[in-house]
Amino acid sequence: MSFGARLAKAVAERGPLCVGIDPHPGLLRDWGLPQDVSGVERFALTCVEALGGQVAVVKPQSAFFEAHGSKGVAVLERVIAGLREADTLVLVDAKRGDIGSTMAAYAAAYLADGSPLAGDAVTVSPFLGFGSLDPAVEAARASGRGVFVLARTSNPEGATVQHAVLPDGRTVAQSVVDSAAAANAGAEPLGDVGLVIGATLATLDVDLSDLNGPVLAPGFGAQGATAADLRGLFGPDLRGVLPASSRDVLRHGPDVASLRAAALRVRDEVA
């Protein structure tokens, strides 16, 4: 089954929510955990226990694991394996982007069968040119996985690149959207090439009408976006939109039951 089909099935069964696993130093402190790899491990595996089988997608943020070197990456591998054993889609938030053989190596790491870092999808950056992502798109298709491509982010610095106008009159952001739409053409019920579009944008300044793929919308919850904001930005039915929330859920740990209940409350807000 393609990633787009598996994602649609997961959303139909568990609602449209992606919950992040972000073992940020501040959250480790709030949970009373040490600021080392043992604290990261306890934090992350508690999240796996609480969230596995409960929400459509879980998104571990790779950087917080990488910060602890090889032992931290080993914890990330355990998180991916644990969530997949719980039949939960895993989106590895790594934002990789490069060219040629290096991009192919990233694709092998995050999208190939047998790699311990391969979840069900990975975030990637297109700002070396959308075509530089071809190895990742091809690897995702070959293994039934997906990619989420940065398109229109809500950080203020992003607009300097994403609003730049190409010779054909489109913005860089719109060209990313259009390239994703071309990759998804004809797929049912959704294509495997998703986009990352910030939920806290004041207005949606790209046309998603031909995308035929999922949209990851970070910024829901603690970062300020509400369910009403999401519907105002993306339309009332939110088809294909996957709101992402991290701190709004994670602040309820370390108790597993409280963490799970918080995730289900947030899920129900956007269902």
The tokens describing 90, both together, are 């895993």
Beta bridge partners, 58, equal 19, 90
pLDDT at position 155 over 90: yes
Residue 214, helix vs strand vs coil: coil
CA distances from 245 to 58, 150, 237, 251 (A): 10, 17, 19, 11
Reported confidence tier of residue 221, pLDDT bands at 50, 70, 90: confident
Residue 4 has pLDDT above 80, yes or no: yes
- Count of the separate structural domains present in the chain: 1
- Tell me which residue of 21, 23, 11, 82 sits closest to 246, measured CA to CA: 21
Q: Please tell me the predicted confidence (pLDDT) of residue 264.
A: 96
Q: Which helix (H) or strand (E) holds 250?
A: helix 247-250
pLDDT reported for residue 238:
85
> What's the pLDDT band for 162 if we cut at 50, 70, 90?
very high
Among the listed residues 9, 59, 71, 95, the single catalytic one is 95
CA nearest 27: which of 16, 14, 42?
A: 42
Active site residue 95: yes
Percent of the chain scoring above 70 in pLDDT: 100
**Would the pTM of this model clear 0.95, i.e. be above it?**
yes
Q: What is the CATH number of the domain that holds 56?
A: 3.20.20.70
Peptide bond into 16 cis (omega under 30): no
- Domain span holding position 100: 3-270
In angstroms, rounded to a whole number, what is the distance separating the alpha carbons of residues 137 and 142? 9
* pLDDT tens per residue, range 46-64: 999 999 999 999 999 999 9
| pLDDT at 232 exceeding the cut of 90 | yes
**Range 80-91 average pLDDT:** 98
Q: Please choose, from the candidates 92, 75, 61, 95, the residue with its C-alpha nearest in 3D space to the C-alpha of residue 247.
A: 61
Place of tokens 């391969």: 118
Cβ neighbours for 242, distance < 8 A, ≥ 6 positions apart: 7, 11, 16, 17, 18, 56, 57, 194, 214, 215, 216, 217
In DSSP terms, which residues pair with 5 in a beta bridge?
none
pLDDT, position 270: 87
pLDDT value of residue 157: 95
